[in-house]
């Protein structure tokens, strides 16, 4: 028999390699042997833009941008984003951190309103003169008085209900409610005792 030519030898080697690859698939399973497809989050990580994407999510969330609008910015569908949030904790944390940022901004705004603040009002007037146009800028400092409702809200949230303007009324209602519950419990207990006594009397007969 004539020896294999170079081309035939190459074909044989390819068949052997393919057979070895098939054996690897049988041993490891198709998922382990074949390379996995990357999801969008992993593609961001591969391309080096993950931190930018997470920062964008946090910033937009802190500005009350809806999830649908965030999806448009990221270039993904809402269904994909929901799946990514479940799969990758850092992405979900970006949304949580954004909500925290929004909360702190709102609390700071309420605090500023509660204690009052100053601001500068600038008025610009333009006058026509013989030599040309003259601009006059007047700056006035103004004060905004503390807001009572904001003060009450922050005090109540931070230090308790005793700072609520209707604290005494609330306490009286709570006390009345507790007393009515105790009365109901006592009456119910009394009825149960009477029922058990009547059963005992019948059994003696």
164 SS3 class: coil
Does the global pTM surpass 0.75?
Answer: no
Is a pLDDT exceeding 90 seen at residue 63?
yes
DSSP state of 146: P
Share of the chain above pLDDT 70, in %: 71
Tell me, what's the pLDDT at 15?
Answer: 46
Buried/exposed code over 23-43 (b: 16+ C-beta within 10 A; e: otherwise):
eeeeeeeeeeeeeeeeebbee
Q: Which residues share a beta bridge with 134?
A: 127
**Interval 83-108: pLDDT, tens:** 999 999 999 999 999 999 999 999 99
**Cα separations in angstroms, 194 against 185, 201, 203:** 14, 11, 14
What does the angle CA 50 – CA 54 – CA 60 come to, to the nearest 5 degrees?
145
């Amino acid at each position: 028999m004539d020896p294999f030519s170079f081309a035939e030898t190459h074909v044989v080697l390819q068949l052997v390699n393919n057979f070895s690859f098939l054996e690897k698939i049988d041993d490891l399973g198709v998922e382990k042997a074949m390379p996995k497809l990357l999801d969008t989050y992993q593609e961001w990580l591969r391309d080096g833009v993950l931190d930018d994407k997470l920062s964008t999510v946090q910033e937009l969330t802190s500005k009350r941008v809806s999830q649908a609008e965030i999806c448009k910015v990221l270039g993904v569908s809402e269904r994909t984003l929901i799946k990514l949030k479940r799969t990758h904790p850092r992405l979900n944390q970006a949304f949580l951190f954004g909500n925290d940022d929004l909360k702190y901004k709102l609390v700071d705004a309420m605090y500023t309103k509660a204690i009052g603040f100053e601001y500068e009002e600038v008025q610009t007037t333009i006058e026509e003169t013989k030599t040309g146009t003259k601009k006059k800028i007047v700056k006035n400092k103004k004060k905004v008085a503390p807001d009572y409702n904001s003060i009450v809200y922050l005090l109540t949230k931070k230090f308790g209900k005793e700072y609520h303007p209707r604290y005494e009324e609330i306490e009286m209602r709570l006390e009345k409610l507790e007393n009515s519950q105790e009365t109901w419990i006592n009456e119910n207990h009394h009825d149960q005792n009477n029922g058990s006594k009547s059963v005992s009397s019948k059994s003696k007969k």
